[in-house]
Amino acid sequence: MCSRPVPREPLHRVAVTGGTHGNEMSGICLVRHWLQAPGELQRPSFSAVPVLANLAAIAACRRYVGCDLNRTFISTFLTAKASPDDPYEVTRARELNQLLGPKASSQAFDFVLDLHNTTANVGTCLIIDTNQDVFAMHLCHHLQLQNPELPCRVILYQRPGEERFSLSSVTKNGISLELGPQPQGVLRADLFSQMRALVAAVLDFIELFNQGTAFPAFEMKAYSIVGTVDFPRTKDGHLAGTVHPRLQDQDFELLQPGAPIFQMFSGEDVLYEGESTVYPVFINEAAYYEKGIAFFQTKKLTFSVPALPALTSACTPGP
C-alpha cells in the first residue's frame, strides 16, 4: 500500500466502469446507456470512457462467474502467464489492466470511477483505498459539499499491509461509488438517478481541477475498516441465525459492546462482544455471506487532508 501522488497534469484519460459485479444493476444500465449516448460523459477538457467490466457475469446476471473480479487486480494475477485454466475474471482483469492500466505505470488512465450497488442500507457511500489518496479525498469532500442533503460517507477499504486489489487500483487515481440498498438483479429508479447525478458531480470536479482550481486543506471524517464479523453458523457452515432486527439497516450507526447483533434460529440473541464501539457497514450484504462476513467493523476517524494545489498547466476549454 502506498500513497498515490497528487496529479500534476490535467486528467484527460478518465473511465467510468459498471458491472464489475454482474448483478449490480445501476452501473450496468448507466454504462450501457452511455455506450449508446456518451454526451453526458463529456466535459470541456475530457470525455470519460464508459466500460462494462465483467461481461460474462453481466450476461449471467451474477456477481461473477469464476471469482470476484474486484479482488483480482493484484500482481499475482496480472503478471502471471495466461493459462487456459484461469478463471474468466483473471483473464478479464488482464484485459482491463491493458485497457485502463497497466497498473502503476505512467501509461495508466488518470482516473476511474467504478459503480457498485449493495443490498445493505449504506445510502450513498464513497470507497477509496486509503486516506493517502489525496486527490480522491478531495473529490469525496467535494461530493459531500455538493450534496449536503445526502449523508455521503467515505469508507477506507484497504487494510494495512494489503496489496490494492480492486479495479480502481489499476488507474492513477480512482474511487468506487456504492449505493444501497438495492437487491441484486434489480434496477430501482431512485438509485439510478442518484448514481447518475453523482457521476456528473465527479466529472464536474475533475473538470474544475483540470481548469486550474485549487482546493484548500480540510478535515474529513471517514470510516476505516478494522475487522469483520461472520454470521453464527452450524458445524456444517450453514446459518444458525441472522442479523438482529435492531442491527439490520443500521449501517454507520454506533454499535456498543453488549448490543444484540444476531438472532439465533433457536431464539436467543447474540450480543456484540467487541471491546469498543464500532460503526458497522455492509450489514447483511448478499454477496458477503459466502465470504463469511455479516458486517464490517469500522472506526470513524478524522483525517487532515492537505491542500490540492492548482495545476500550473491547466487546460483551457475547447472552442
Binding residues for Zn(2+), as ranges, are 21, 24, 116
Q: Which stretch binds a copy of itself (CB under 8 A): 5-13, 30-38, 136-144, 168-176?
A: 30-38
The active-site residue out of 178, 207, 219, 275 is: 178
Q: Do 165 and 127 meet the contact criterion of CB atoms below 8 Å apart? A: no
Work out the widest C-alpha separation in the chain, in whole angstroms: 70
For residue 130 the three cell numbers come to 486509503
Q: Closest CB to a copy of itself among 145 and 186?
A: 186
Position among 184, 194, 297, 298 found at the interface with a copy of itself (CB under 8 A): 184
Smallest separation (angstroms) from a copy of itself to the CB of 265: 4
Which runs of E-coded beta strand occur in the chain?
A: 14-18, 42-43, 46-47, 49-52, 111-117, 123-128, 152-156, 173-180, 218-229, 241-243, 260-264, 269-271, 279-281, 295-305
Q: What are the C-alpha distances in Å from 310 to residues 8, 35, 90, 167?
A: 9, 32, 38, 27
Number of residues assigned to the chain:
319
Position among 91, 286, 300, 314 found at the interface with a copy of itself (CB under 8 A): 286
For a copy of itself, what does the binding mask look like between residues 243 and 272, x meaning CB under 8 A?
xxx--x--------------x-xx------
Residues 120-179 close enough to bind a copy of itself by CB under 8 A: none
Smallest separation (angstroms) from a copy of itself to the CB of 217: 39
Does residue 207 have an active-site annotation?
no
Per DSSP, 168 falls in state: G
- Strands 295-305 and 279-281, bridge-based pairing: antiparallel
The 10 Å Cβ neighbour count of residue 2 is 9
Q: Work out whether 232 is an interface residue with a copy of itself (CB under 8 A).
A: no
Annotated binding site: 21, 24, 116
Position among 6, 47, 56, 62 found at the interface with a copy of itself (CB under 8 A): 62
For a copy of itself, what does the binding mask look like between residues 71 and 110, x meaning CB under 8 A?
----------------------------------------
CA 154, distance to chain mean position in Å, is 10
C-alpha triplet 69, 71, 74: angle, nearest 5°:
110
Closest to 73 measured CA to CA, from 102, 49, 48, 52: 102
**Size of interface with a copy of itself, in residues (CB under 8 A):** 37
Summarize as ranges the residues that interact with a copy of itself (CB under 8 A): 29-30, 32-33, 36-37, 61-62, 119, 181-190, 192, 234, 238-239, 242-245, 248, 263, 265-266, 284-287, 289-290
What are the residue numbers of the active site?
Answer: 178
